[in-house]
Structure formats: structure tokens, C-alpha cells
């Protein structure tokens, strides 16, 4: 019997991941730990930049009407999902990476680009600019929300939890600790080593995605669910 999968990423990603997991025959419980919302920002003059960089699809979804001022510029997206969201927002020239921001910046550096506008969330992982001048504008923020009673009931039964970020991992570990759940009854599928480290030790099993992408993370989660 497969173990249940618990997905705690924010919407709209939660629904997309949940649908993919159900299509693979898993019992899925969906409980976002964060909600995302736009933040006010002063859009700088587009002529200052040779391109725009996004490391999350939420930047495209939540930047608001000022985003249209930049759609004539090349868009450098961390991965295909972010690239697709940027395309839906009106960007025409899109270069997508493989989900790794460091490799994306390395590619940008080889193109000789010198100044990019990074549209970002309030919480972000620092990265090495590789000689590229990157100016960050925060256009959205994620806010933690209290765990639903249904999530606590699911955690008490045990299963596999997907962790899409280090921040989510830390928040999830705090909830488990606060409610005295047995960590050994829960297995984690983490999108990166940083996310796994943020969750701490003591879990039944921990698997790190082969690539920092949702599809690779789901592969890791499926393997854990089937490892009864």
C-alpha cells in the first residue's frame, strides 16, 4: 500500500503539483503553508536594463500592470514554469534555464549582458552574480498561514511530505515540533540539499530531487510513497 503524499507549497503551484501526483495514482493531501500576494513597488526605467530575470513564476503572476513596461526586453527565467508564466504575461523573448539560478546566471554572463532587473519575492536564496550586475525589485511576498486541522490530522497518520523550498522546510519542521509529531513516521522529498538541511534531522527518510524542478521533486516523492 502506498503512503499518502502531503503537499504544502503555496497556490497556484499546490494545485498543479497535486493534480500531477493524483495522475500518478497517489493519495494526496493538499495544505499550503504560505499564501502569496503582490507588494507595492516602484518600477524603474526600463531603458536601464538589457533584460529581466525571474526566479519564480509568482513574479510574473503578481508583479501587476507595471510588468508590461518590460515585456519588450529579453526575459531570463529560472525554469520552464517561470518562462511559461512570463509568456502569459506578455514577454516575447524568453530564455529558460534548467531550474538552477546559478547556471542561469552563468549562461547570462557568457552572453556578455551587464545589467538585469530581477523581479523577485521578499524571500529569496542568495546567488552569485557571475559578474552580471543584477538589480532586484521585490514584487510579491509569501506569508505563513496557520496549519489547518486537516494537515495536523494527516501528519499524525504519517506519510511523505514534499518541500519546495528551504523556508517551507523550516516552517514545516516548526509545526511538527510544536505539535509533538513523530518525525520518524514522516519522510521528506526536498527540492534541494538546502531545503533538506533546513528541515533538520530525525525523519524516516529524506530524498533530494535530482534537479531543482517540480517534476523531479515529484519523482522523488513517488519513490518514497512506494517504498512502504
SS3 readout for 75-117? EEECCHHHHHHHHHCCCCCEEECCCCHHHHHHHHHHCCCCEEE
Kindly give, in sequence order, each residue whose CB lies less than 8 Å from that of residue 171, ignoring residues fewer than 6 positions away.
33, 34, 144
Strand 159-163 with 186-190, pairing: parallel
State whether the Cα torsion 134-14-103-128 is positive or negative: positive
pTM assigned to the model? 0.84
State whether the Cα torsion 36-191-56-126 is positive or negative: positive
- CB of 163 within 8 A of CB of 175? no
> Rounded to whole angstroms, how far apart are CA atoms 39 and 23?
35
| % residues pLDDT > 70 (the chain) | 99
Kindly give, in sequence order, each residue whose CB lies less than 8 Å from that of residue 102, ignoring residues fewer than 6 positions away.
127, 128, 130
- For the stretch 100-148, pLDDT in tens is 888 888 888 888 778 999 999 998 877 877 788 899 999 999 999 989 9
Q: Which domains does the chain have, with CATH numbers?
A: 5-33+145-226 (3.40.50.10090), 36-143 (3.40.50.10090)
- For the stretch 73-89, pLDDT in tens is 999 999 888 999 999 99
> Rounded to whole angstroms, how far apart are CA atoms 35 and 8?
11
Burial tier of 170 (Cβ tally within 10 Å: 0-12, 13-18, 19+)? middle
- CB of 119 within 8 A of CB of 137? yes
Amino acid at each position: 500500500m502506498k503512503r499518502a503524499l502531503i503537499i504544502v507549497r503555496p497556490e497556484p503551484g499546490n494545485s498543479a503539483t497535486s493534480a500531477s501526483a493524483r495522475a500518478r495514482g497517489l493519495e494526496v493531501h493538499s495544505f499550503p503553508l504560505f499564501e502569496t500576494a503582490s507588494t507595492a513597488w516602484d518600477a524603474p526605467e526600463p531603458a536601464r536594463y538589457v533584460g529581466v530575470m525571474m526566479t519564480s513564476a509568482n513574479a510574473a503572476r503578481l508583479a501587476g500592470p507595471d510588468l508590461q513596461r518590460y515585456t519588450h526586453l529579453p526575459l531570463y527565467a529560472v525554469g520552464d514554469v517561470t518562462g511559461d508564466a512570463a509568456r502569459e504575461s506578455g514577454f516575447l523573448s524568453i530564455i529558460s534555464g534548467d531550474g538552477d539560478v546559478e547556471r542561469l546566471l552563468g549562461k547570462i554572463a557568457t552572453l556578455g549582458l551587464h545589467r538585469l532587473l530581477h523581479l523577485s519575492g521578499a524571500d529569496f536564496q542568495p546567488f552569485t552574480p557571475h559578474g552580471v550586475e543584477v538589480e532586484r525589485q521585490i514584487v510579491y511576498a509569501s506569508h505563513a498561514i496557520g496549519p489547518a486541522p486537516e494537515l495536523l490530522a494527516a501528519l499524525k497518520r504519517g506519510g511523505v511530505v514534499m518541500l519546495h523550498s528551504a523556508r517551507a522546510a523550516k516552517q514545516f519542521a516548526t509545526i511538527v515540533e510544536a505539535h509533538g509529531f513523530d518525525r520518524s513516521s514522516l519522510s521528506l522529498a526536498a527540492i534541494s540539499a538546502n531545503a533538506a538541511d533546513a528541515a533538520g534531522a530525525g525523519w524516516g527518510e529524506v530524498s533530494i530531487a535530482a534537479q531543482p524542478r517540480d517534476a523531479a521533486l515529484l519523482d522523488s516523492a513517488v519513490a518514497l510513497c512506494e517504498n512502504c
